[in-house]
Chain A
Amino acid sequence: MTQRTSRKSYVMVYVALLILLALTIVADQFALGVFNTVIAISIAAIKMLLIMLFFMHLRSSGCLTWIVAGAAFFWLSILFGLTLTDLLTRSWLVAPGT
């Protein structure tokens, strides 16, 4: 086990997470079209990164752990990405010029 994260660091990360949560809810009050979803997902991703790096000690973990964590996201990106390539291209193709 490498250096121990201090209690203060945990609390600071926690405060940051709460601020991000408040930001998410506040941002939802405004109508920003597709950016509502973009902002919501981005904030959720940042929160996830904070939890993974600090609470789950990923920062002080070995390379193998990083690879496993990265692999989970890699497989999810295959699942989401390839399914969406089907879903997003389900429109009638029109011949050019018509």
Chain B
Amino acid sequence: MREDAVSREQSAIQRVPGRQQADTAEVASHARQFDDAGQQRETASLGMWIFLATEFMFFGGLFMAYIAYRYLYPQAFAAGSQYLKTLLGGANTGVLLTSSLTMALAVHAAQAGRRRTIVAFLLLTVALGAVFLGIKGYEYFSEYQEGLVPVFNFAFDGAQPQQVKLFFILYFLMTGLHAIHMTIGICAVLAITVLAWRRRFSAQYYTPVELIALYWHFVDIVWVFLYPLLYLIKA
């Protein structure tokens, strides 16, 4: 059977260590349920988009809570927002936007099958993600020092302390959930960096890079909304 010959040839290719998998067998191959490789690629991307749609809803719940309570207590939210470090948050936004660029360039390199370039840009993305988490951690630490962390040491002596506490609950929940997503993203990017280094990708097959990039851009989009909503509330 022709399909058995193709799969035997493919497993023979995989048994040879370090060999580039850009052979004709790879070019024409696709899983049986798809019409062609292009459709298989599109389907993988669609699957990730569906997951991202659910993630939008996941964050959407917290955004809804934010909208509701900011509508009810605008002054308290503005007051709480003054305690957040606007420029540091802005720098963090810049860091994440840059990481999205490096991630997009990694996918671009993957489309050309350039192994070293892929690895370089993926490592840059990881580094920028780590910088983001570092700055966020520093912000959390200084907020702890200023006594602004609900449950732990919240002590606010201005007007409407309970409502300001609500603002900080939402701040820590939303940025915390975002930070968890960042951490997962960094681990995923590290995993595909290892795969890329080990020549698992080619110009015909780089689907994991494409999908993790979609996830990474999504996490960036969430922060793009978090920043103005939390840090830039005008008093």
Contacts and interface: CB of A to CB of B under 8 A. Distances in A.
Contact of B217 (A52, A64, A75, A88): A52
A10 B94 contact: no
The interface residues of chain A, by DSSP majority, are classed as helix
B49 A69 contact: yes
B108 A87 contact: no
Nearest to A77: B60
B108 A71 contact: no
Given A5-B108, A68-B53, A87-B71, A18 B234 contact: no
Interface residues on B, range: 35 or more
A92 interface: no
B217 A55 contact: yes
A94 interface: no
A91 to B, nearest CB: 12
Contacts of B38: 1
Contacts, number: 124
A79 interface: yes
Interface in A1-60: 1, 4-5, 7, 10-11, 14, 17-18, 21, 24-25, 28, 31-32, 36-37, 40-41, 43-44, 47-48, 51-52, 54-57
B86 to A, nearest CB: 7
A17 B221 CA distance: 11
A40 B81 CA distance: 14
B52 interface: yes
B97 A14 contact: yes
A52 B84 CA distance: 28
B99 to A, nearest CB: 11
Interface string A59-91: 001101100110111011001100110011000
Given A1-B41, A10-B105, A64 B46 contact: yes
Contacts of B46: 62, 64-65, 68
Contacts of B94: 18, 21
A32 B227 CA distance: 18
Nearest to B210: A57
A68 B50 CA distance: 6
Given A37-B234, A41-B229, A68-B46, 17 more contacts: A10-B104, A14-B98, A14-B101, A25-B86, A48-B225, A51-B221, A55-B101, A55-B217, A56-B214, A57-B45, A61-B42, A62-B46, A65-B45, A65-B49, A83-B68, A87-B68, A87-B72
Closest 10 pairs between A and B when the two form their complex, measured CB to CB: A40-B228, A72-B53, A72-B56, A36-B234, A14-B101, A28-B232, A68-B49, A55-B104, A56-B217, A10-B104
28 contacts: A5-B108, A10-B101, A11-B101, A21-B94, A24-B227, A24-B232, A25-B86, A25-B87, A28-B228, A28-B232, A32-B234, A37-B234, A40-B229, A41-B225, A44-B224, A47-B221, A52-B221, A55-B213, A56-B214, A61-B42, A65-B42, A69-B49, A72-B56, A76-B57, A79-B57, A79-B64, A80-B60, A84-B71
